[in-house]
Amino acid sequence: MKMDARFWDERYAGTEQLFSGAANGVLVTEVADMTPGRALDVGCGEGGDALWLAEQGWRVTALDVSQVALDRAAALDVDGRVEWRQADLTASAPTPGSFDLVSAQYFPVVRQHDHATVLGLLAAVAPGGTLLIGHHDFGDLPPREELDFDPADFYAPADIADLLGDEWTVEINETRARTAPAPAGTHHSHDTVLRARRVR
């Protein structure tokens, strides 16, 4: 399965609205009490997280590989509070050291030998900033033979935690119950969450 711009454009174009439009529970739980600054929303989709962050006072750059999703998100941003940007993070990394929050919620990253995409996201966090990764718990998935992909091909938050150097402090690295019902047709009842702060 090649999850490129064409894949995601076709997936979004195939339905009037793919996701709920609400901010993800992990983001709301972990960020609600933070002092707003510059935020990068990775894999923003139709914009629920980015718009929520903007409402909280964050200056948001929202990235997605799908222009279809970005166009939908921008149409909801009537005040133009978010910078919507088409980007393939496997080809180009965000500007290093630019964001007080880098958030990736349910953003699938295929494993790479050099970890280039993940390392690019880590580098985008400014000193003192926060990395927040929320993902479905792979333990909730059906047996591998019933899936059309191999979960082992993708990074889990704990895998990303293993790539953090001594310039990071891991604040949360855990599995927890979802705060919202699972998406229709899925069995996701738990999230895996990584929150880490860049100390220098």
- The Cα 198–Cα 170 span in angstroms is 9
Model confidence pLDDT, tens digit, residues 56-115: 999 999 999 999 999 999 999 999 999 999 999 999 999 999 999 999 999 999 999 999
Please state the pTM of the whole predicted model. 0.91
- The Cα 183–Cα 20 span in angstroms is 9
Residue 156 tokens read as 């889990």
- The Cα 34–Cα 56 span in angstroms is 9
Q: How many domains in the chain?
A: 1
Burial of 23: CB neighbours in 10 Å, binned 0-12, 13-18, 19+: buried
Model confidence pLDDT, tens digit, residues 120-163: 999 999 999 999 999 999 877 778 777 777 888 999 999 999 99
Among the residue ranges 26-30, 49-53, 148-152, the one predicted with the least confidence is 148-152
Distance linking the first and last C-alpha atoms of the chain: 37
> Residue with structure tokens 């793919």?
18
- The Cα 29–Cα 193 span in angstroms is 11
Residue 38 tokens read as 């510059």
Print the domain residue range for 133. 5-13+20-198
**Could you tell me the CATH number of the domain that includes residue 154?**
3.40.50.150
Contacts of 7 (CB under 8 A, 6+ apart): 1
